[in-house]
Structure 1
Amino acid sequence: MKYLLKFKHSDYSSQQAIILAGWTNQQESGKGKKKKQVFSPVISHWPKEIQTLFKGVATHQQFTGEMGQSLSMTDSRGRHIIAIGMGLRGKCTFEMLRKEGAKLYNALSSQAEKLSIDFDSFVIKNRRDDSLAMLLEGIGMAAYRFNKYKAKAKPPLLTTIYIDSFNPKITKANINSMANTLERTQMIVAAISMTRDLVNEVPNVLNSVTFAKKVDEDIKSLKKGVKVKILDKKGVIKEKMGLFLAVNAGSSHEPRLVHLSYTPKKVTKNTKHIVLVGKGLTFDAGGYSLKPSASMMNMKFDMAGAATVYGAFRAAVQLGVNAKVSCILGMTDNVISNQATLPDSIIKSRNGKTVEILNTDAEGRLVLADLLDYASDLRPDSIIDAATLTGAILVALGGEVCGLFGNNDKLNKQLLSSANSVSEYLWQLPVIDEFCDEIKSNIADLKNMGNSRFGGSGKAAAFLQQFVGNDIPWAHLDIAGIGDSQGHLPYCPKKGSSGLMVRTLVDYLDNV
C-alpha cells in the first residue's frame, strides 16, 4: 500500500473517499448545568459547499461525534465524505487512535481504491507526529494478510492513502518531520509483518534450515552491514550445546544457530550492547512426551519467540538505533524418531550443568538455556529472551497479556515503560527462591520440570535464570499467550500471528 503526504491543497477529484474525525464537545444545558454532547467538526478549511452539506447531514442524522458513530455523504461532485466519531478529544489516547486507524482500514479497504485522510482532524494532544504514527500503525497492521497459499486470493481494492494537512502554519520542518515519521512507521510495520510471515509459515516449508536461510536473506537485503554468523550442527556440537542438540536429536533437519550483530555508526564508551535471544521451535510435537493430536494444532507457532526478536532486531537496524544489538536464534523442531531423546535422560549443557529431562515436551527451556549461556559470553549490558514457553502463562494472564520475568528491576521497569508507551500489555511475575529450589534434581544439577503444574511459568523462568551469566541483567518474555492472535485487537488478524511485543522491544532498543 502506498502512502502520500499532501499539504495545503483542496483538490479531492482523484480520491474516492475522504475521511475525517468527528469529535464531541461538552456544553452546559440550562439550569441543571448538565453536560450534553455537541458535535464539534474540524472543517473550517474545507470548501463552503462541503461545510454546508456536512453540517446539514450531521444535524439530520443526529451525529454528535461520539465513539462508534459514523457519518457518510456524497457531495455534488461525487466525492464520498465519511466522518468517524472519536468521542471527547481530551480523552482520546494514542491506542484509541491506532485502533480507529485499523477499523478505518477494515471497513473501507474493499470499498475504495484511494482514501484521503484529513489528518489535522485526527491530531490529539497537539502531537502531530505521534498522532500520525499511531494512525498509520493501525492502518498498516490491519492491512496485513497471509494468503500466499490461496489459489484465488482477492487483493484489497485500497491501494493508496493520502495524508492531507491544511494547517496554514505548517512549516518545512513540520513537513520533514512528518515524512520521517511516515518512514519510521513503515519500517516498524514491515518488521511486524515479517514476524507474522515467519510465524504463519507452514511447518512443511519452514524448518530449521529454511528458517535460517530466510532470516539470512532478509537481513542482507536491507544492506545495513549486519554481520551474520550461522552455525550448523557441527558448529553447535563445537559449542558443546548439549541441551540444544538433545531437542534436535529426533529431527530429520539439522539445528541452526543464527547470530546477527548490528553496530551503530557512532560508538562511544556509553553505547549499550543488548542481546536478543529467541526460541525457534519450528514445530513441537512434544518428542517422546508426545502431545495429544489436538494440542499439536498451531505448534508451528512455537518459533514465535525467534520471529519476534528478529522482527525487533530488523526494525532497530533500519531505524539506526544508537545501541549495539545482537540477535541469537536457536532453530530446530521437537519430534519423534529412533534417535530422539528419551525421558529420564541426563544431558550436559553448554555451561557444564547437567539436566535431568523429565519431560521432553518442556524443550524450549533446554534450547534457550544453551542460547543464554552463549549470549552471556558476549558480556552485554542486558539480555532479553522471548519464547512461547509455557501454557501456564495463559492460565495466569490470559491471551492478551505477556508475562515478564527477570533478575534486574531497572531492566524490568524499562521494558514495562516501553510496553506502556506503545500500548502493549506486559505484566511482571516473580522468580522466587522456592522455584529455583524446586528445579534441582536428586541425580543431576537441575531438572527441566517442577514438582507440580502450578506456577509453571515462574519455574520455567527460574530454570532459564541458571544459565544467565553472573551480574548480567536479564529479562524473559513468555509470549505463549499473545503470540497467537486472540482477535481482540482490530489491528491484529482474527487468527494467526499477532506480532505483539515487536513494538515494545523496538521502543526499548530505541531508548536504551
Structure 2
Amino acid sequence: MTQVASIVLTFEKQTNDWQQDKIIQIVGEVIYIYLAENDEYALRQIQMAARSIEKLGIEHAKLTGSHWQPESQWAFALGFTCVGKLCNLEFTGTSEEINRLNDKLAVFAWARDLTNHTPAQLPPQQLAQAAIDYIQAQAPAYISSTLICGDELAEQGWMGIHNVGKGSINPPCLLELDFNPTQDKEAPVKACLVGKGITFDSGGYSIKSSAGMFDMKADMGGAAVVAGALALAIRQGLQQRVKLILCCAENLISNNAYKLSDIITYKNGVTCEVANTDAEGRIVLADGLLLASQSQPEMVIDAATLTGAAVMATGGDYTALFALDQKLAKQAQLTAESVNEPLWQLPLAPWHQTKCPSVFADTANSRTQKGGGAGGASNAAGFLSRFVDNNGQGWLHFDLAAAYNGSANEMWAAGATGLGIATIAELIR
C-alpha cells in the first residue's frame, strides 16, 4: 500500500462486489469509507475505519471529497493518529475549518506525546516546564508563572504535594501559570484549571503490581489535558483570564516516602489520614484546589486519571464527570456533546465527604479496601469537595477514565487519547 493515501467519505458503494459488512474499500490509490446516510453512530464508524486504515501501513492520510465535515474529519483524526504519526493528516474544507482542525490536531499531538513520555524523560519539574514553554509559545505577552519546588512546598504549606513527592529524588512542584490577556493584575479570573501531574505512580507503600504499574507514566494525563485545553482555547481566541495549576510529583518508595497512617494538615485546616498511599492523586489535587480558590474564579475545573473505579463504571470509554453544581454539570454535558467527547456524570453529594472516615483526622484519603471500596470514584470526588469554596458551586471534577490505552483497540491506537481537552477548552472559551 502507498505511504500516502487519499481518503474519500462516500454514501454510495464504489463497486458491485463491495462486501456487505465492510465500510472500507481500496480502489487504486484511493481508500473509500462507506457510510449509510443518517447513521446514528457515523462518527464512531469513521474512527474505527481510520484505525483499520492506519494499520494498512499508511503513513500520511489526505482527506478529499465533498462529504467530509469538521466533525467527521476529527473522528478520522482520532482513529488514524498514533505514536510516531500524531500529525500525519491533511484536512479538507474552507481555510477557516482547516486552520481550526490543524490547531486542534497540533495541541492534541503535544498533549498526547507528553503523556506518552517515559518517567525518565519527564520528572515533575520537567512536566511543569514543558507546560510553561508550550503555553508561553501560544501567547508570549500574556503569560506569567510561579513554580514552587521541593522543600519550599512544605515551607509554604502545600503539604499534599510535598508528602506525595518527598520520597523521590526528583522534587515535587506546584505550578501556577496565569494567562491574562487583559494585562490588568486586578482582572477577575474566569477559570482555574487544576491538573494531576503524577509523573510516575508506583503506589508508594501501597505498592501496585507490576502489571498495574506498567502504564503509570500516564498518571500525569490530567496535567496534559488541562494544559492542552488552555493552549487550545488560546489558539481559538480566548480573551478572558485563566489560570493553570499543575500538581506534579513522583509517587515512589524510599526511606523518606510518606506512609500509611501519616496525617497531612492542609492550608484550610483539614486533616487527612493516609489510608492508602496509592490514592495520591486526590492528596495532591487538594493543594491545587486550595490554590485555585485563592483567585476566587468563576469556575474551577480539575482533571485527573484519578480512580480505577471510574474506569470500571464507564468501561474506559467515557470521561467521568462529578459536580455539586448541577447547572454547570449540565453545561459540561452539553459542551462535551457539541465537541463529540463522551462524558458521563456519576453520583456526587455533600455526604460523600464522610465516606472515608478516620478516627484520628477529619478524613482519610480512602478506605483500606481494594479500590477504596464501593463507590470509590464518588468517594474520591467527595474528598476533593472539601477543598473547593461555595459548597462546590462553579466546580467540575473530570475523572479521566478514557485518557490512556495500554494497548490498541478498535477505536484507538495505544497511548494517550487527549479526551477532555476539547470539552474543557470550550467550557472556558
* Residue from 29, 40, 64 that aligns with 1:117: 64
Cα distance, 1:477 vs. partner?
0.9
Cα distance, 1:371 vs. partner?
0.9
Task: Confirm whether residue 374 of structure 1 aligns to residue 321 of structure 2.
Answer: no
**Aligned counterparts, 1:111-260, within 5 A:** 115=62, 117-118=64-65, 120=66, 122-123=67-68, 131=69, 133-147=70-84, 161=90, 163=92, 178-224=94-140, 225-260=142-177
Instruction: For 1:420, give the aligned amino acid.
Output: E
Cα distance, 1:484 vs. partner?
3.0
Q: Distance in 1 between matches of 2:254 and 2:21?
A: 56
Task: Confirm whether residue 22 of structure 1 aligns to residue 22 of structure 2.
Answer: no
Q: Distance in 1 between matches of 2:62 and 2:43?
A: 22
Task: Confirm whether residue 280 of structure 1 aligns to residue 197 of structure 2.
Answer: yes
8 Å Cα contact 2:354/2:363 also seen in 1: no
Give structure 1 regions of 4+ aligned residues with deviation exceeding 6 angstroms: 269-272
Cα distance, 1:435 vs. partner?
2.6
Q: Distance in 1 between matches of 2:41 and 2:245?
A: 35
Q: Using CA pairs below 8 Å that are at least 6 residues apart, which structure has the higher relative contact order? A: 2
8 Å Cα contact 2:299/2:395 also seen in 1: yes
- CA spacing shift, 1:62–1:239, aligned 2, 3 Å: same
**Aligned counterparts, 1:421-432, within 5 A:** 421-432=338-349
Q: Distance in 1 between matches of 2:245 and 2:324?
A: 20
8 Å Cα contact 1:276/1:328 also seen in 2: yes
Cα distance, 1:418 vs. partner?
1.5
Task: Confirm whether residue 420 of structure 1 aligns to residue 420 of structure 2.
Answer: no
Task: Confirm whether residue 504 of structure 1 aligns to residue 420 of structure 2.
Answer: no
SS in 2 for 1:291: coil
Q: Distance in 2 between matches of 1:194 and 1:396?
A: 28
**Aligned counterparts, 1:254-269, within 5 A:** 254-264=171-181
SS in 2 for 1:507: helix
Structure 2 unaligned runs (5+)? none
Q: Distance in 1 between matches of 2:136 and 2:198?
A: 23
8 Å Cα contact 1:101/1:135 also seen in 2: no
- CA spacing shift, 1:23–1:333, aligned 2, 3 Å: same
Q: Distance in 2 between matches of 1:287 and 1:63?
A: 55
The answer for the alignment partner of 1:468 in structure 2 is 388
Greater Rg by CA: 1
Q: Distance in 2 between matches of 1:16 and 1:431?
A: 48
- CA spacing shift, 1:252–1:139, aligned 2, 3 Å: same
Deviations 1:29-82 (A, max 9, x none): xxxxxxxxxx6xxxxxxxxxxxxxxxxxx46x2459x783445445xxxxx454
The answer for the alignment partner of 2:320 in structure 1 is 403
Cα distance, 1:264 vs. partner?
4.0
8 Å Cα contact 2:320/2:346 also seen in 1: yes
Q: Distance in 2 between matches of 1:353 and 1:160?
A: 49
Q: Distance in 1 between matches of 2:252 and 2:367?
A: 23
SS in 2 for 1:189: helix
Aligned residues: 421
Q: Distance in 1 between matches of 2:274 and 2:4?
A: 62
Instruction: For 2:294, give the aligned amino acid.
Output: D
Instruction: For 1:197, give the aligned amino acid.
Output: D
- CA spacing shift, 1:67–1:247, aligned 2, 3 Å: same
Task: Confirm whether residue 340 of structure 1 aligns to residue 257 of structure 2.
Answer: yes
**Aligned counterparts, 1:58-73, within 5 A:** 58=14, 61-63=16-18, 68-73=22-27
Task: State the identity %.
Answer: 31
8 Å Cα contact 1:391/1:481 also seen in 2: no
Deviations 1:290-315 (A, max 9, x none): 22223211111111111111111111
The answer for the alignment partner of 1:55 in structure 2 is none
Q: Distance in 1 between matches of 2:220 and 2:327?
A: 28
